[in-house]
Structure 1
Amino acid sequence: MTHDEVDALATGWRAAGMPATLVAALELSKRASRLTVLFEAAVKAELAELGLTYAEFEVLAALARTPAPHRLRPSELSKSLFITSGGTSNVLQRLTTAGHVERTDNPGDARSRWVQLTPDGLRLARTALELASRAQQDVLAGVPDEAVRHAADALRDVLAIIGRRRVR
């Protein structure tokens, strides 16, 4: 069995008398956090070369993944990226000012607007996605594909249960 930096913490938790189920939950949480930090750090380093923040990249990537004309409502972006409407608004303002996205009226609903990629924004999004993909592959270098698939499936199983309920 391989060991990581969380194992040392878990040893301490067990020695402190924490129940095994709590130790397992803490290990899961710490490892998920550590993976997030490693992935985001690698991607952020690549995005810096493009002058993008991670949040800007996430918005551009979400829009690029939608079918042409690559547009969504701001509320759809917030929901799909797990960020607040205020956070989305700030990012959209920066991307609009930079000429990467534009906001257009929604003829089907006068109360909402569309956000869509400009041609420059689509080119930037594609470049950023390539760099992010390479960065993630670099982070996972040496990890067997089956281990990645197993971990992804296991995390889906956990999120399918806890993601449905409101966590306090």
Structure 2
Amino acid sequence: MRAEAAGRRGGQQVPSMELAQLAGRLCAALDATTNSRVARYGLTRADYDVLAALRSAGGELRLKPTELAARCRLSSGGTSNVLRRMSESGYVVREADLADGRSAWAQLTEEGLLVTTRIQDAVAAVQERRLALLPPGAVDALSALLAQAADVLEAPE
């Protein structure tokens, strides 16, 4: 099948394929903003995803590596590599789990919290500036519709 024919039925764009393509474009545009800000701090996207997951953990800003791997969609080896780099950078500390001697916690440091907050604030500023170009109410309407679509598509068949 030719590339331009993909997602078409009888010469017409299949609505589900068009939705997927548009959602992909939206994700790519939002990710590009994040990736450019992350790179300014000498971090990889995986580094940032781990830092952001720890920041969103609440409480003591710590998670087990297995939970980080699941949240960030990283392998256990990839998570270990990121945690090693983030520890060397002073953004994360590893602490033994006193209740379970076989595992450890990864905890965001004050410096890690600061850099993560700076990146998130910079990303939010750029995205808000760009999204402000849309008609009033468009972001809220799109968010509501995308949430509805995600709920429907994630439901068991």
Q: Same fold (TM over 0.5)?
A: yes
- 1:110 pairs, out of 101, 107, 110, with 101
Question: Compared with structure 1, are the counterparts of its residues 63 and 19 closer, same or farther at alpha carbon in structure 2 (3 Å cutoff)?
Answer: same
Following superposition, the deviation at residue 81 of structure 1 comes to 2.8
Counterpart position of 1:162: 153
Conservation of the 8 A alpha-carbon contact between 1:47 and 1:132: no
Deviations for 1:50-70, whole angstroms, at most 9, x for unmatched residues?
112222112112212232421
Q: TM-score, normalised by structure 1?
A: 0.77
Structure 2 residues without counterparts, runs of 5 or longer: none
After superposition, residues 1-150 of structure 1 pair within 5 angstroms as 14=8, 17=10, 23-144=14-135, 146-150=137-141
Query: Which is richer in helix?
Result: 1
After TM superposition, the runs of 4+ consecutive aligned structure 1 residues lying more than 4 A away are none
User: Secondary structure at 2:40's aligned position in 1?
Assistant: helix
Deviations for 1:13-69, whole angstroms, at most 9, x for unmatched residues?
55x51677xx11111111111011111111222222211222211211221223242
Conservation of the 8 A alpha-carbon contact between 2:95 and 2:105: yes
Aligned counterparts of 2:44 and 2:38: Cα–Cα separation in 1: 7
User: Secondary structure at 2:107's aligned position in 1?
Assistant: strand
What is the number of residues matched between the two proteins?
154
Counterpart position of 1:5: none
Conservation of the 8 A alpha-carbon contact between 2:7 and 2:18: no
Identity percentage of aligned residues: 34
Q: TM-score, normalised by structure 2?
A: 0.82
User: Secondary structure at 1:50's aligned position in 2?
Assistant: coil
Q: CA RMSD in A?
A: 2.6
Aligned counterparts of 1:164 and 1:84: Cα–Cα separation in 2: 26
